[in-house]
Structures are given as C-alpha cells and as structure tokens.
Amino acid sequence: MDEPRDGRDERTGADEPPPIGGSWGRLYAFVMIALGLLIVAFTAITRHFA
Amino acid sequence: MSGLDWLVLVGSQFLVVAYGVWKGRRANTLEGYMLSDRSMKWQTVLFSIMATQASAITFISTPGQAYVDGMRFVQFYLGLPIGMIVLSVTAVPIYHRLKVYTAYEYLEGRFDLKTRALAASLFLLQRGLSAGLTIFAPSLILSIILGWDLYITNIVMAALVIMYVATGGSKALEKTNVLQLGVAMAGMITAVIVILVKLPSSLSLYDATLVAGKLGKMNAIDFSFDWNNRYNFWSGLIGGMFLQLSYFGTDQSQVGRYLTGKSVAQSRLGLIFNGLLKIPMQFFILYVGIMVFVFFQFAAPPLFFNHVEADKIAASSRAAEWNALEARHAEAHAARRATVDALVAASERNDAAAVETAAVALREADGTFRAVRKDAVALMKENDPAAATTDTNYVFLTFVMRYLPAGLIGLVISAVFCAAMSSVASELNALSSTTVIDIYKRSVRPDESDGHYVKVSKLATVFWGLFALAFAMVAHRFAPSLIELVNIVGSLFYGTILGVFLVAFYLKHVRGTAVFAAAIVAECAVLLCAFGTGIAFLWYNVVGCGAVILTALVIQALTPDRELRTQN
C-alpha cells in the first residue's frame, strides 16, 4: 500500500453519520447509559437476592 | 438420542452447511473469499461478530459455570461496551481507510515488517490453539452422548468444518453465522422454557431466583478489589476492556468480520450494537445455568455430572465406597429439598423473618450436600489420580439429555453445533487470511494472481484446521472449564498485541525497533505473571499492554535520533 499510515491522518470516514440514531456521539452516550443501567441492575439483583 | 433428534440435528446442519456453500459459491476473488467484497450491512456484521465470539464453549460451559460459580462470570464482559466505542472511534476508520485485509498489514506501514510479522505470528499461535478448543468442545458433547471415541469425534468435527470453510470462505460464513446464531439462541431459549415448565408449578420465577440467591448464586456484581479474584467488577471493567479491545481490535477473526462492512458506518454500527447486546445475552445464558441449578434443588442431580468418570469408579474396587456416597448424596439432597420447600413457603407468605431462618437452614443443608460431593471427588482422585474431577462442562448437557423431550434434544445439540461452526469458520478464515496476506503474499510469493491466492487461502484453511485438530486431540488433558481456558490462552497474548496497536495509533514518535523489543519484553512479563504468580488472568491483558507501551517509550527515549534516521 502506498498511502501514508499515520493514524491521525487516516481517520477520514469517521464523519459519516450513523444509519440510525442521529449522531455517533448520541449512540455512544446511549451505550454508556445502558452499561450504567446494567451495572445498577446487577448490583440490585446481587443485593436483593443475597 | 431418538430418531427425531437425529433428524433435527442432521437436517438442520445439512441445511446450514448447504446454505453456506451456496452463498459462498462465487467467492473467486481474494477480496470476496476473505472479506465478502466488503459488502455487508451492519445487521450482518453484528450477528457475525456475535456468532464468532459465542462459540459452542459459550453454550456448553457458561451454564455449567453459573451452576458451580453463580452469575459472577457476567462481570467478565463489563468492559466490552467501552471497548466497542473506543474501536469505533479509532480502529474502524483506519482499517477502512487503508482497505487492509488484516489488522497486521497496518503495522508494517506504521512500524516495519518485523513488527507486522511478530504480531501476525502471535495471533496465529494463539488463535490456532483456540480454534482447537473450539473444535474440541462439541466433540466432547458427542463423545459423551453417543459414547464415541473422543479422538474420532474430533476428526469428524474438524473435517466437516474445514470442508465448509475452505469452500465457502468469508461469503459463506458471514451469512451462515447469522443463521447459526439464531439456531443457537433458539436452543437456549427452548432449554430455559423446558426448565421453567418442569419446575414445581407453585414455584414462581422470583422464588426460583431467591433460592439461587440464598445459595450465593446471584452474585452478579462484586465491587471488592482483589488482584487474585478472577471475576470482580474491576477486573471485568478494566482487565476485560483491555481483553475485548485486543480481541475486537487486533484479532483477525473479529477484525475480518467487521471489515466486511460496506462502509465505516456499517462496521461501526455492528460493533456498537454488539456493545449493547452482548452483556444481556451472556446474562441470559448464565441465568439458564442458574435455572438448571434451581431445577436440581428439586430433582435429584447425579453425584458427579461426568458419567464416564462416575461409571469408571462405580466399576472399580472402590465401588462399595462410591455406592455409600451415592446413598449419602440422596439423603443430603432430600434434606436440602425440605429446606428449599420451607424457604419457598416463607417467601410466598411474605414472611421476611421466616425467609432468613429458612435461608440459614438451606445453606447448612447445602453445605452437607456439597461435603458429600467433595468426598466423592476425593475418592475419585484416590482411585485414579488422573481422573477428571471437574464436571462443570457436563452440567448443562446432562440436564438436556435427561429432561428434554425428543426433538428438542436434537435442537439443542444442533444449537451447540451451530455455535461451534460459526466460531471455527471465522477462526479458520482469519488464520488463512493472516497466513496468506501477512506471510505468503508479503514475503514468499508477492506477484501472483488473485486466483492463485484464493487457492493458497483454501490450502491454508486446511492447514490451520489440521493444526487446530492436533490441539483438540490433547485439550481434554487440561480443560477445567473450557470457556475459562479459551480466555486464559487469549489473555497470554492479547495484551502484548493490543499494546503494539495502541502505540501504533497514539504514540507517533515511537518506531518499529522500539515497539518490537517492547513486545518481546512484554510477552516475557505476561508469561512470568501466568506461570510465576497467582495474578488472575484478566490482568495479563493490562500487564502485557502496559509493558509494551512503557518499554517502547523508554527504549525510544534512549535511542531517538539514530532510530529516526533509520526510519527516514
């Protein structure tokens, strides 16, 4: 491959919007919130049934 | 298995394999054979990623893990969603932009050929071994269920997978992965429905979970920090994130899956949805194991789930002692059952004090019950020091064979086969891609036609299938829990590979020689941790990754000018 391999220069294509969800930032936030909710749920399950 | 089970198993497998071969019949170019012409939508990428990660081992060993160890294994996946986001932001755009076939191609441009070759070699070694375990798991099922010789079963399994992958390539496996994941999940859902139907009709799902909880099985989260604790919140979130970053970011069996996406967005969305769905999926599979555990509070479990080992001692000179233990086991089960009934009755009355009293009695009865099992294991060891005294992998299948009706047994076994084939297919495809792209095409025969490379890719698939088979032949000698073994083997190498990639992405001033030397040092450090300390395996990923980054920085700082001149 002849193209330069410098990572910082190669992150083109990252601006392409997601097919759903509006923006990538919103999707990432959604994933993090879902993870937080799962951790809360697992903690509640652990404590309730212990 | 009944005739109906065989019909379901053979029929479904024939359809899946035929579908795969048909879908892959036009894979005549290298890009088509290895990356499905980069034409997949995010849904296909998502299910292919999930099917690749969820092997037969996931479906066999995870419920058994929950039966023995509770829900705490779910913490292993806590770092995965964060890893998916990091990769979506960093690795996916870079790989797409460069149009690489393998992740290791990137390393040559960024560093040098020897770093690319080192990373590719580490991958080939670790993934070749893991593929062996992925073949071994379903073979183990067949050898137990049908009494077949394990070695012959391994050979048959490997031959089927090699044939399917070598002919279809990536185009075949992407499409069949979706189908196979569907069958696998259908099998697990069927199993849990049967368990719920077979539990006492008066027992609610809440009370079933309460029984498991009072026996310490609903331990989904543990915030206490301990380097030697294999699964807790911190090891899962931090160590697990490093492992998942390495697995999805640098392991060609996963990189190859999302490189089939037809755009950056399609690949990214597949990863992001994997981050959303993976933890709930693993929770569900573990919960199946919890329900099997509750089921065996009411139905009598065998003294030892590996009936081959149990039959061996029952036919030995220690048979009388074994029979006495079985009698004690039955008594202990009956006593424990009485305390379970008392707990459920107290829960139904909403009598909190009575629930706690019954829980204490239940734990005491369970302690007696487990003591009998411990005695049984000790007797097995005395009788035969080489006996396999861990039966985690046999728990779920014992339930399936004893309690599922005809037809559904075939469906669950088919689910296990589907899961195995989807993972092995991706692994062999990745091993073949790395061998051909990073070694053969790069250093051996660089100027051949596409058709030539496709042929060599098929031969490489066969070679790696045979390599995996060789490891599968000896895997039973050190398989306490198959899913743990796979992750332990992966963790020996993943941290180092991830460190190399992180340096490549973020530390622009570090050059090839520094990162190559750092990778060697880091791998030695990981092996030292694994064989010289008691540190839990998830931390190997952090150690390997951290050691590469720090060592590379130090070496680069010591030799900046000469190195830069060499590079320029």
CB B150 within 8 A of CB B306: no
Residue B297's H or E segment, with its range, is: helix B264-298
| pLDDT greater than 70 at residue B146 | no
Q: Is B219 on the interface with A (CB under 8 A)?
A: yes
Task: Say what the pLDDT of residue A4 is.
Answer: 37
Report how far residue B539's alpha carbon sits from residue B235's, in angstroms, rounded to the nearest whole number. Answer: 7
Residue A13's pLDDT band (boundaries 50, 70, 90)? low
Residue B564 tokens read as 């830069």
CA B220 to chain centre: 19
Residue B133 tokens read as 């375990």
β-partners of residue B261 are: B40
Task: Say what the pLDDT of residue B562 is.
Answer: 54
CB B320 within 8 A of CB B328: no
| Secondary structure of residue B449 in the 3-state scheme | coil
- The distance of B351 to chain A (nearest Cα, Å) reads 15
Q: Is A27 on the interface with B (CB under 8 A)?
A: yes
Please, what is the angle between helix B395-403 and helix B113-146, to 10°? 40
Residues with Cβ < 8 Å from B119, sequence gap 6 or more? B103, B104, B107, B250, B497, B500, B501, B519
Q: What is the pLDDT of residues B246-291, one digit of tens each?
A: 889 888 989 999 999 989 999 999 999 999 999 999 999 999 999 9
Contact A43 B220 (CB under 8 A): yes
Task: Say what the pLDDT of residue B246 is.
Answer: 82
Contact A32 B209 (CB under 8 A): no
Q: Which residues of B touch A22 (CB under 8 A)?
A: none
Residue B484's pLDDT band (boundaries 50, 70, 90)? low
Report how far residue B417's alpha carbon sits from residue B24's, in angstroms, rounded to the nearest whole number. Answer: 20
Q: Which residues of A touch B506 (CB under 8 A)?
A: 7
Report how far residue B229's alpha carbon sits from residue B537's, in angstroms, rounded to the nearest whole number. Answer: 9
Residue B54: what are its φ and ψ, rounded to 5°? -85, 90
| pLDDT greater than 60 at residue B541 | yes
Which of B9, B124, B17, B152 is closest to B422 using CA atoms?
Answer: B17
Contact A24 B505 (CB under 8 A): no
Contact B74 A3 (CB under 8 A): no
Contact A12 B97 (CB under 8 A): yes
Q: What is the pLDDT of residues B84-122, one digit of tens each?
A: 999 999 889 988 888 899 989 988 988 889 889 988 998
Report how far residue B343's alpha carbon sits from residue B350's, in angstroms, rounded to the nearest whole number. Answer: 11
CB B468 within 8 A of CB B137: no
Q: Which residues of A touch B279 (CB under 8 A)?
A: 35, 38
Task: Say what the pLDDT of residue A28 is.
Answer: 94
Q: Is A18 on the interface with B (CB under 8 A)?
A: yes
Which residues 265-304 of B are in CB contact (within 8 Å) with A? 265-266, 268-269, 272, 275-276, 279-280, 283
β-partners of residue B40 are: B261
Contacts within 8 Å (CB) and 24+ apart, B104-110: B104/B252, B104/B434, B104/B437, B104/B438, B105/A1, B105/B437, B105/B438, B106/A5, B106/B504, B107/B500, B107/B501, B107/B504, B108/B442, B109/A1, B109/A3, B109/A4, B109/A5, B110/A5, B110/A6, B110/A7, B110/B504
Of the partner residues B97, B100, B221, the one whose CB lies closest to the CB of residue A42 = B221
| pLDDT greater than 60 at residue B376 | yes
Q: What is the pLDDT of residues B288-338, one digit of tens each?
A: 999 999 999 999 999 998 888 889 999 999 999 999 999 999 999 999 999
Amino acid (one-letter) located at B384: D
Q: What is the pLDDT of residues B160-213, one digit of tens each?
A: 778 778 887 888 888 888 888 888 899 899 999 999 999 988 888 898 999 899
Of the partner residues A1, A24, A49, the one whose CB lies closest to the CB of residue B109 = A1
Q: Which residues of B touch A11 (CB under 8 A)?
A: 90, 93-94, 97
Report how far residue B116's alpha carbon sits from residue B507's, in angstroms, rounded to the nearest whole number. Answer: 17
Contact B269 A20 (CB under 8 A): yes
Burial class (CB in 10 A: 0-12, 13-18, 19+), B172: buried
| Secondary structure of residue B56 in the 3-state scheme | helix
| pLDDT greater than 80 at residue B458 | yes
Burial class (CB in 10 A: 0-12, 13-18, 19+), B302: middle
Half-sphere exposure of B434 (CA within 13 A, CB side): 31
Half-sphere exposure of B473 (CA within 13 A, CB side): 11
CB B60 within 8 A of CB B224: no
Report the 3 state secondary structure along B225-263: CCCCCCCCHHHHHHHHHHHHHHHHHHCHHHHHHHCCECC
Q: What is the pLDDT of residues B400-433, one digit of tens each?
A: 989 999 999 999 888 888 888 888 988 999 999 9
Which of B245, B257, B238 is closest to B88 using CA atoms?
Answer: B245
Residue in A closest to B347 by C-alpha: A49
**Location of structure tokens 């693993």:** B282
Report how far residue B549's alpha carbon sits from residue B514's, in angstroms, rounded to the nearest whole number. Answer: 10
Residues with Cβ < 8 Å from A4, sequence gap 6 or more? A10, B109
Which residues 63-82 of B are in CB contact (within 8 Å) with A? 71, 74, 78, 81-82
Residues with Cβ < 8 Å from B282, sequence gap 6 or more? B58, B62, B73, B74, B76, B77
pTM of the predicted model as reported, rounded to 2 decimal places:
0.84
| Secondary structure of residue B362 in the 3-state scheme | helix
Where helices occur in B349-407 by DSSP H, the ranges are 352-383, 395-403
Share of chain B above pLDDT 90, in %: 40
Higher-scoring residue by pLDDT: B555, B142: B555
Residue in B closest to A9 by C-alpha: B94
State the ipTM, two decimals: 0.81
Report how far residue B75's alpha carbon sits from residue B223's, in angstroms, rounded to the nearest whole number. Answer: 10
Residue B164 tokens read as 């399917």
Please, what is the angle between helix B482-506 and helix B91-98, to 10°? 70
Residue B40's H or E segment, with its range, is: none
Do you know the residue count of chain A?
Answer: 50
